[in-house]
Amino acid sequence: MPIKKLFENAVFNWVLISSIVILMIITNGILALKTIEDLSSTQSSLYNTGDIIVELDDLHNLVLMAETGQRGYLLTEIEEYLTPYEDALGRLSVQLTDTKKLRSEVPGQAKRIASLIVLVEQKIQELRTTVDLALADKEKRALKQVMTGRGRDLYKELRAEFEQIKNLEINYRNSLFTVLSVVEREAKVTFIISGITSTLLLLGLAFFARLNARSEAKHRLQLEQQNEVLAEKVTMRTKELTLYSDELSRSNRELEDFAFVASHDLQEPLRKIRAFGDRLRSSYSQSLDERGADYIDRMGNAAERMSNLINDLLEFSRISTRGKPFVDVALQPVIESIIDDLEVSIEESDASIVLGSLPIINADPSQMHHLFINLISNAIKFRQSDIKPVVEIQAYQEEIGQELSHIITIKDNGIGFEQEFADKIFVPFQRLHARAEYKGTGIGLAICRRIVERHGGKISALSELGNGTLFRIEIPVDNTLINIIGENANVQQ
**CATH, residue 23:** 1.20.120.1730
The reply to whether 47 and 174 lie within a common domain is yes
Backbone angles phi, psi at 464, to 5 degrees: -140, 135
Mean predicted confidence (pLDDT) in 169-195: 78
In a domain, 390, yes or no: yes
Range with the poorest average pLDDT among 13-27, 83-97, 292-306, 428-442:
428-442
CATH of the domain at 412: 3.30.565.10
In a domain, 198, yes or no: yes
Contact call for residues 342 and 376 (beta carbons, < 8 A): yes
At residue 491, the pLDDT reads: 41
Mean predicted confidence (pLDDT) in 206-221: 71
pLDDT at 314 over 90: no
Give the whole-angstrom CA distance, residue 305 versus residue 316: 16
The reply to whether 334 and 472 lie within a common domain is yes
In a domain, 44, yes or no: yes
Higher pLDDT, 245 or 40: 40
Give the whole-angstrom CA distance, residue 87 versus residue 65: 9
How confident is residue 493, by pLDDT bands cut at 50, 70 and 90? very low
In a domain, 294, yes or no: no
pLDDT at 165 over 60: yes
Give the whole-angstrom CA distance, residue 154 versus residue 150: 6
Give the whole-angstrom CA distance, residue 221 versus residue 227: 10
The reply to whether 26 and 163 lie within a common domain is yes
Residues 2, 8, 13: CA angle, nearest 5 degrees: 130
What does the mean pLDDT of the chain come to? 76
The reply to whether 338 and 204 lie within a common domain is no
What pairing do the DSSP bridges indicate for beta strands 469-476 and 403-412? antiparallel
In a domain, 239, yes or no: no
Chosen domain end from 171, 194, 211: 211
- Give per-residue pLDDT as tens, 136-152: 665 555 555 555 556 67
- Give per-residue pLDDT as tens, 439-469: 656 677 888 888 898 888 999 999 888 888 9
The reply to whether 33 and 169 lie within a common domain is yes
Higher pLDDT, 305 or 41: 41
How confident is residue 472, by pLDDT bands cut at 50, 70 and 90? very high
Domain that holds residue 374: 324-480
The reply to whether 183 and 332 lie within a common domain is no
At residue 354, the pLDDT reads: 92
Residue 362, by phi and psi: left (phi above 0), alpha (psi -120 to 50) or beta? beta
How many domains does the structure of the chain reveal?
2
Higher pLDDT, 81 or 294: 294
Mean predicted confidence (pLDDT) in 308-325: 64
In a domain, 21, yes or no: yes
Per-residue burial over 188-213, b = 16 or more CB atoms within 10 Å of its CB, e = otherwise: eebeeebeeeeeebeeeeeeeeeeee
Chosen domain end from 211, 232, 255: 211
Give the whole-angstrom CA distance, residue 261 versus residue 240: 31
At residue 410, the pLDDT reads: 92
At residue 318, the pLDDT reads: 60
In a domain, 401, yes or no: yes
In a domain, 192, yes or no: yes
Chosen domain end from 211, 238, 263: 211
At residue 245, the pLDDT reads: 64
Q: Dihedral through CA 376, CA 382, CA 387, CA 389, nearest 10?
A: 0
Backbone angles phi, psi at 443, to 5 degrees: -120, -5
The reply to whether 207 and 334 lie within a common domain is no
- Give per-residue pLDDT as tens, 334-384: 999 899 888 888 888 889 999 999 999 998 888 888 889 889 988 888 888
